[in-house]
Amino acid sequence: MLPAEIIAKKRDGQSLTAEEIRGFIRGFSEGSIPDYQMAALAMAICIRGMSPDETAVLTAEMLSSGSSLERFDDPRPRVDKHSTGGLGDKVSLVLAPLLACCDLLVPMISGRGLGATGGTLDKLESIPGFRTDLSSDEIRTVTRQVGCVITGTTAELAPADKKLYALRDVTATIESVPLITSSIMSKKLAENLDALALDVKFGQASFMKTRGEARQLARQLIHVGTSMNLPTTALLTDMNQPLGQMIGNAVEVDEAVATLEGDGPADLVELVLALGAELLVGVGKEPNREEALKQLRGHLGSGRARQKFDQLVRAQGGDPDAPRPVATATDWLAAEPGYVTSIAAEQLGWLIIELGGGRQVMTDKIRHDVGVQLLVRVGDQVFQGQPLLRLFADPDDLTRVQPGLERMVQIGEKPVQVEKLIHQRLANDEPGEDEPGETDG
């Protein structure tokens, strides 16, 4: 079939055969199918969708366009997690060294900021000297020596996905569930894992705005993992307010370090422990969730997890003891008493970008010293004059963004119901059960 015929077939809502998908992606990867035809197929997929089986074939072809990380001679199980992106999400910085303390290998391939959400690599680069551009050989060496690594992708891992992602970013096809699925899973499958835990977020500061959308994505991800012999589970988590208190780069590293020392915010600790327990039980390191949580809490409380983080930083060229400067702190105060009814999480993400803590265009240089500390949570009672936000920014920049600050924390007269952080667990293509009394949203 000619490329135009395959595009037309998907445009008309028909399923593509495995041969058609493989041939198209191979042609695109090798250069015989031009960008404009790949962009047309991506838009057809975005509008018409793909079946789970089509998505699995697409993922497999993305994976086979490059090489995978080598399995070296080591009895420790290989695991990883993936988050679909959220504000204040520094889970990877805590979870990777924590799992390494549990005799697991964590070859974590991470990304940069996308949209209003921050990127793990951008945060880690606030540590002086820290390298996020390791080669495949360096990834293997650090993983073997430390037990974990956090780095960017290499040119050899799923190169077809890298090419397609660049097109999706400029053709309004980022939100397509099949394309998101193939992008995430092709890179995770290239890590040669024994288990994968997914944090699929929904709400204001995430790509999936409703829990139903997040569930659809989670099931696709699980189906692809299961069909390719990678045990995969997913947690659906709320992203209508930031995770933890800190939003930014250096300030998020500081909060991650505090968490590794046993002094982290409750919601961040809850999510780290939940994802860690999924993986410990998933590879048979612990018989049940309770025993897994006990081991994880022990490493946080003992200081061993912090020591492992320092070892990771040094192995990747960084200095964990070097100061991570932050800009001047200024508090934003409540204009009236009441209860926090909502937090404009997505707008806070854009605020960080406007202050220079993220990129507006790919060539922007990130400022690691700016950030925001969220001093209240949804449901909290506040008083007039009470600090709501602590902003780390130069005074001139703060003056420029000040008119929008009053919209960041909404205060009402009556208390509101506080949503739970973890709404649902899904695994092995099973329907999954909601918590008692939970309704879809």
Q: Give the residue numbers annotated as catalytic, written as ranges.
A: 82, 161, 168, 183, 187
Report the distance separating Cα 304 and Cα 310, nearest Å.
Answer: 10
Query: Residue 12 is encoded by which pair of tokens?
Result: 């008309």
Distance (Å, rounded) from C-alpha 285 to C-alpha 106?
14
Which residues are registered as beta bridge partners of 197?
81, 233
Strand order in the sheet with 79-83: 79-83, 195-202, 232-238, 422-427
Helices 211-227/52-64 angle, 10° precision: 60
Rounded Cα–Cα distance for residues 270 and 290 (Å) = 13
Is there a contact between 314 and 330 (Cβ–Cβ < 8 Å)? no
Q: How many residues make up the chain in this entry?
A: 441
Distance (Å, whole) CA 240 – CA 82: 19
Count of CB atoms within 10 A of residue 344's CB?
Answer: 19
CB 148 within 8 A of CB 108: yes
User: What backbone torsions phi and psi does residue 72 show, to the nearest 5 degrees?
Assistant: -95, 170
What one-letter code names the amino acid at 127?
A: I
